[in-house]
């Protein structure tokens, strides 16, 4: 079985499955707000920090207009914010798009396909035909190479400007509602 040729076809098929659902700017803003609200539910002690991280998903070189990709990108960045982790390295979605671009230049190596499948799974993107099941093969045979590629790809997709504002301006209202916010200016 030629996993590399199967893998390259898988990259195209999986990405085409999710990129057909693109949205307007208004829809993209709505998806971002919904992901922030969901993150606030998961991390209520960080709700104010997450609210003020709204602009972080937008600080990327890729135009993420497709709902599943934008939502996965937002989720990863918001989880990093909630955990106090570095938001600059590339997200799984950014690595997916980098890998896809590479596949259009030359056939992916086995490690490249493994990286794509690993990032697909990490982003929790839909996989209705269970194409990521092949990831077990790639991980079993190429895990060290995939690890190195992931480190390099996340560094390549790093955005140094994508850091939370340590002192955002806040009136004590979020979306027109008074809220307790650690950033609110004293009245």
Section 130-136 average pLDDT? 91
Phi, psi of 186 (to 5 degrees): -65, 140
pLDDT tens, 27-64? 888 999 999 999 999 999 999 999 999 988 877 766 67
pLDDT tier for residue 1 given thresholds of 50, 70 and 90: very low
The residues, any chain, with a CB within 8 Å of residue 178's CB and separated by 6 or more, are 172
In this predicted structure, the answer to whether residue 127 has a pLDDT above a threshold of 60 is yes
Which sequence spans correspond to the domains of the chain?
A: 3-168
For the segment 160-176, the average pLDDT, to the nearest whole number, is 92
Cα(71)–Cα(164) distance, rounded to whole angstroms?
18
Q: Rounded to whole angstroms, how far apart are CA atoms 137 and 33?
A: 37
Overall average pLDDT of the 78-96 stretch: 97
pLDDT for 110 beyond 70 = yes
Q: What is the pLDDT of residue 63?
A: 65
Q: Which of 108, 106, 89, 116 is nearest to 14 (CA)?
A: 116
pTM of the predicted model, to two decimals? 0.87
């Amino acid at each position: 079985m030629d996993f590399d040729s199967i893998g390259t076809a898988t990259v195209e098929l999986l990405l085409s499955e999710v990129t057909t659902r693109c949205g307007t700017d208004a829809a993209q803003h709505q998806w971002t707000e919904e992901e922030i609200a969901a993150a606030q539910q998961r991390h209520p002690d960080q709700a104010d920090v997450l609210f003020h991280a709204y602009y972080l998903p937008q600080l990327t070189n890729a135009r993420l207009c497709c709902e599943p990709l934008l939502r996965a990108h937002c989720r990863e960045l918001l989880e990093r914010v909630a955990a106090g982790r570095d938001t600059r390295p590339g997200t799984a979605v950014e690595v997916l798009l980098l890998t896809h671009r590479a596949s259009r230049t030359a056939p992916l190596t086995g490690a490249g396909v493994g990286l794509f499948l690993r990032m697909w799974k990490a982003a929790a993107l839909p996989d209705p035909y269970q194409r990521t099941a092949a990831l077990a093969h790639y991980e079993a045979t190429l895990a060290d190479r995939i690890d190195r590629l992931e480190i390099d790809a996340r560094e390549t997709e790093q955005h140094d400007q994508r850091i939370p504002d340590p002192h955002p301006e806040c009136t004590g209202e979020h979306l027109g509602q008074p809220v307790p916010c650690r950033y609110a200016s004293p009245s």
